[in-house]
Structure 1
Amino acid sequence: MEDAREHIRLEMESRSDNEEFARVVAAVFMSRLDPTIEETDDVKTAVSEAVTNAVIHGYKEGEGTVWMELTADRKDRCLTVRITDQGVGIQDIEKAMEPMYTTDRSGDRSGMGFSFMEAFMDQVEVKSEPGRGTAVTMKKYIGR
């Protein structure tokens, strides 16, 4: 299959309103894989959670950059999404991925971000280094 893989990279400011923009970009980009509405909604939800985590936890709602990389593989019918920040990082990834765990002390956050990502995507991998940032890589297989 000619050009079976396509890739884009988006750089955006760490602002909450960019979460919506990232969702729309991911949905439009994945449309070339002919997903169902449910699959598209799953990806949009996971992207929202990952970008929100970067803004709220990675940069503590301060200034920074969030990167989103998308790869569509038409041969494998797989979308790979990678959300990266250079924020504070995660001290204990295993603990951070527990349902209801949050570093937000305001009481406004439920701590379900990684749980939602895992529920809506087929694979989720988190790599982080305190003081250097976090990368969340998620895969969604379309039609499986």
Structure 2
Amino acid sequence: MQISFSAKSENEGFARTAVAAFVSYLNPTIEELADIKTAVSEAVTNCIIHGYNLKGGIVWLEAGVLDRTLHVAITDEGRGIADIQKALEPLFTTRPDLERSGMGFSFMEAFMDTVEVESAPGKGTRVVMTREIR
């Protein structure tokens, strides 16, 4: 599955629902679905708030299944991350003015089996996550 949508807060729910519908044929548990939806929500929200600084842009969402493992990639062409290791630290945020908790990547890592972040300043960010559906 490949979809793109405007980097607007109202589209975060759309992304969650799209991935949940996509993986539904594997008959995931309610907990697995909730975890996946939360991780997708956090990644999309990061694109909107941090990547595009709430100024709009396009978010790309790709999903696929290999055996029983969901692969999800969420990409923006926003400002990128200068220090990925720092961004992955719990409680780190570049937007304290918006009362952001800095737990987005921590939630993704807690709810998915793997999380990989690729980014370059001025070129955007790509978050690739996997989750086995047991």
Aligned match of 1:3? none
Aligned match of 2:74? 83
Aligned match of 1:110? 101
Q: Which runs of 5+ in 2 are unaligned?
A: none
Question: Which one has a larger percent helix, Structure 1 or Structure 2?
Answer: 2
- Cα distance, 1:107 vs structure 2: 4.5
Aligned match of 1:130? 121
Which deviations, in whole Å up to 9, do the C-alpha atoms of 1:75-130 show, x marking residues without a partner? x2010010000000000000000000000030410000000000000000000000
Aligned match of 2:9? 16
Q: Distance in 2 between matches of 1:111 and 1:23?
A: 20
Q: Which has the larger radius of gyration?
A: 1
Aligned match of 2:22? 29
| Alignment-mate amino acid for residue 39 of structure 1 | E
User: What secondary structure, in the 3-state scheme, does the structure 2 residue paired with 1:79 have?
Assistant: strand
Q: Is the 1:33–1:72 Cα contact (8 Å) retained in structure 2?
A: no
| Alignment-mate amino acid for residue 63 of structure 1 | G
Tell me the number of residue pairs that the alignment of Structure 1 and Structure 2 aligns: 134
Aligned match of 1:5? none
Q: CA RMSD in A?
A: 0.7
Q: Distance in 1 between matches of 2:130 and 2:124?
A: 20
Q: Distance in 2 between matches of 1:105 and 1:35?
A: 35
Alignment of 1:41-60 (within 5 A): 41-60=34-53
Q: Is the 1:26–1:70 Cα contact (8 Å) retained in structure 2?
A: yes
* TM-score when normalising by structure 2: 0.98
**Identical counterparts, % of pairs:** 57
Q: Is the 1:59–1:87 Cα contact (8 Å) retained in structure 2?
A: yes
User: What secondary structure, in the 3-state scheme, does the structure 2 residue paired with 1:62 have?
Assistant: coil
Q: Which runs of 5+ in 1 are unaligned?
A: 1-7
Aligned match of 1:139? 130
| Alignment-mate amino acid for residue 9 of structure 2 | S
